[in-house]
Amino acid sequence: MPYFFILPAFGIAVLLLGGFTIACRVAPSLEPMFPFAWRILLWSTVGFVVANAVVLLLFLVPAFAPECAQGDPGAREASRIGLAAGLLLGPFIASALGFMAGSTFGVFLALRSLRSASGGRRDNGGRR
């Protein structure tokens, strides 16, 4: 159910980021932003997919949790409620965190690439 809302939003974000990446490649005034744009597009998508793959592993928990486990029935009910809450809210949280972490990693890689392309030199305002 949560993916009914999440996947369309993610699709729109990917289309917008893809359009911006193409615009950065085509428009000369936006070309300095191209290293950021394609890395943000790539790594935000990877972050989204990886984070949601981890959440989807929650669906396997009931298959591997012994149903007839000895213990407090109240604790068993609390774990079921926690699992249900995780399956309901987890995709929203994981999607946002994965997307943002991937975007941040893309910016980090772009900055590192630009720094290494300039030879690691800092701008001294034209002084040598």
pLDDT grade for 128, boundaries at 50, 70 and 90 = very low
27, part of any domain:
yes
One-letter identity of residue 11: G
Q: Is residue 37 part of a domain?
A: yes
Confidence band, pLDDT 50/70/90 cuts, at residue 67:
low
Q: Is residue 57 situated within a structural domain?
A: yes
| 3-class SS of residue 30 | helix
Q: How confident is the model at residue 41 (pLDDT cuts 50, 70, 90)?
A: very high
CA 101 to chain centre: 5
What pLDDT, in 10s, does the model give residues 69-92?
A: 566 777 778 878 888 888 889 899
**Winning range, highest mean pLDDT, from 63-67, 81-85, 103-107:** 103-107
* Total domains present in the chain: 1
Neighbours of 3 (CB within 10 A): 14
Threshold 0.85, pTM exceeds: no
Alpha-helix runs per DSSP H in 1-72: 3-26, 34-56, 61-64
Does residue 71 sit within a domain?
yes
Question: Domain range spanning residue 27?
Answer: 3-117
